[in-house]
């Protein structure tokens, strides 16, 4: 509890109350949020729709489809239906000529079936189903969009969150990775632009190829910045191995994208300097750590009070 103790020592009673209020506001949202995941193969549909005969060519079938396995019980279908996603049944769902935008069914390992909040994490799984043998190289793009519920009498509608700061915080605080080490609970291959490419060798027709993406919403700023040996670390697990290349790469990323993680006047050189010291394991001021942690917590609070649902999309 060292990081929390730092905050309590350095900050006022008002700041302590704000921290408690944050927890109250975030937890109810966790019951409602997220679980709106879908995939799209729209560009294949466009290719198939082209009249290529005039060029002396013939349209070809898609080289693969996408499949998900799990349950649709917790999906917010009103939002998905309004975005033209195809109906699904439990157990499995696969793209086709008729259904090129499908719900992303969830299993227990997704960590999203009952909503998420700071401290949550999980694994999102989908399958590439080859329609031809050989090698496939596919580029995937993840995206997240916040929604809020609007009531007017007996009518309920869902609107996209337009607050740019909140949208930035969503993209900063909910982090995606290609790999996760279960032995020490660290992540690697951070998807800074939420884009990744996979190459599938020696594919066989209709033999599914599993793809996993790992996500985490760090509970504290310390989990992101601190080494595991830092005496002020609150949480047991840090995101990166202490001396890993991944940690060094992320250090440059967060210094260039501080506004995705911290609220208020975050983009100051002094903040970047403190962040660099913490990342390097150098001596830093606990008062400055307290200030940065409060800015991270405040960003979480803004997510919790402004967003009720999040649509997570995978495009190919």
Tell me, yes or no, whether 237 lies in a domain: yes
SS3 251: helix
Q: Which of 139, 110, 130, 135 is nearest to 36 (CA)?
A: 110
Tell me, yes or no, whether 158 lies in a domain: yes
Q: Which of 103, 101, 83, 84 is nearest to 92 (CA)?
A: 103
For residues 119 and 168, give the distance between their C-alpha atoms in angstroms, rounded to a whole number.
19
Tell me, yes or no, whether 206 lies in a domain: yes
| 186 Ramachandran zone, left/alpha/beta (phi>0; psi -120 to 50) | beta
Q: How far is CA 119 from the centre of its chain?
A: 13
Provide the domain count of the chain: 1
Tell me, yes or no, whether 54 lies in a domain: yes
CB half-sphere exposure, 218, CA atoms < 13 A: 31
Q: What is the pLDDT along the chain (316 residues), one digit of tens a residue?
A: 554 445 434 444 555 455 445 543 343 343 333 334 444 443 433 333 333 333 333 334 678 889 988 887 777 788 888 888 887 777 778 888 888 888 888 888 988 887 888 888 999 999 999 998 999 999 898 988 888 888 888 888 889 999 999 999 999 999 999 999 998 899 999 999 999 999 999 999 999 999 999 999 998 999 999 999 998 888 888 999 998 989 889 988 998 999 999 998 877 888 889 999 999 889 998 888 889 998 998 899 899 888 888 888 888 8
For residues 37 and 163, give the distance between their C-alpha atoms in angstroms, rounded to a whole number.
21
Give the structural domain span for 144: 2-311
For residues 80 and 263, give the distance between their C-alpha atoms in angstroms, rounded to a whole number.
30
**Token reading at 249:** 């790469």
Whole-model pTM: value is: 0.82
Tell me, yes or no, whether 21 lies in a domain: yes
Q: How far is CA 211 from CA 23, 66, 185, 202, 204, in A?
A: 34, 10, 19, 16, 16
Tell me, yes or no, whether 316 lies in a domain: no
Tell me, yes or no, whether 254 lies in a domain: yes
């Amino acid at each position: 509890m060292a990081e929390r103790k730092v905050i309590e020592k350095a900050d006022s009673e008002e700041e302590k109350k704000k921290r408690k209020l944050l927890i109250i506001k975030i937890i109810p949202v966790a019951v409602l949020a997220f679980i709106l995941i879908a995939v799209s193969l729209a560009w294949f549909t466009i290719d198939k729709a082209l009249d290529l005969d005039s060029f002396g060519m013939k349209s070809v079938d898609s080289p693969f489809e996408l499949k998900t396995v799990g349950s649709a019980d917790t999906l917010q279908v009103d939002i998905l239906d309004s975005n033209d996603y195809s109906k699904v049944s439990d157990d499995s769902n696969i793209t086709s000529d008729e259904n090129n935008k499908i719900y992303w069914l969830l299993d227990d390992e997704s960590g999203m079936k009952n909503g998420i909040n700071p401290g949550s994490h999980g694994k999102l799984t989908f399958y590439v189903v080859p329609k031809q043998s050989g090698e496939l190289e596919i580029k995937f793009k993840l995206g997240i969009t916040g929604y809020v519920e609007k009531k007017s009498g007996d009518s309920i509608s869902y609107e996209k969150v337009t607050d740019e700061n909140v949208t930035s915080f969503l993209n900063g605080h909910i982090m995606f990775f290609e790999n996760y080490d279960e032995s020490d609970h660290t992540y690697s291959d951070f998807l800074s632009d939420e884009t990744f490419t996979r190459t599938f060798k020696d594919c066989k027709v209709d033999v599914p190829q599993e793809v996993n993406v790992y996500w985490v919403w760090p509970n504290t700023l310390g989990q992101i910045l601190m080494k595991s040996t830092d005496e002020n670390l609150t949480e047991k697990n840090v995101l990166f191995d202490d001396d890993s290349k991944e940690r060094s790469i992320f250090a440059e990323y967060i210094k260039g994208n501080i506004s995705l993680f911290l609220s208020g006047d975050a983009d100051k050189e002094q903040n970047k300097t403190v962040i660099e010291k913490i990342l390097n394991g150098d001596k830093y001021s606990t008062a400055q750590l307290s200030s940065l942690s409060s800015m991270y917590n405040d960003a979480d609070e803004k997510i919790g009070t402004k967003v009720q649902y999040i649509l997570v999309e995978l495009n190919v």
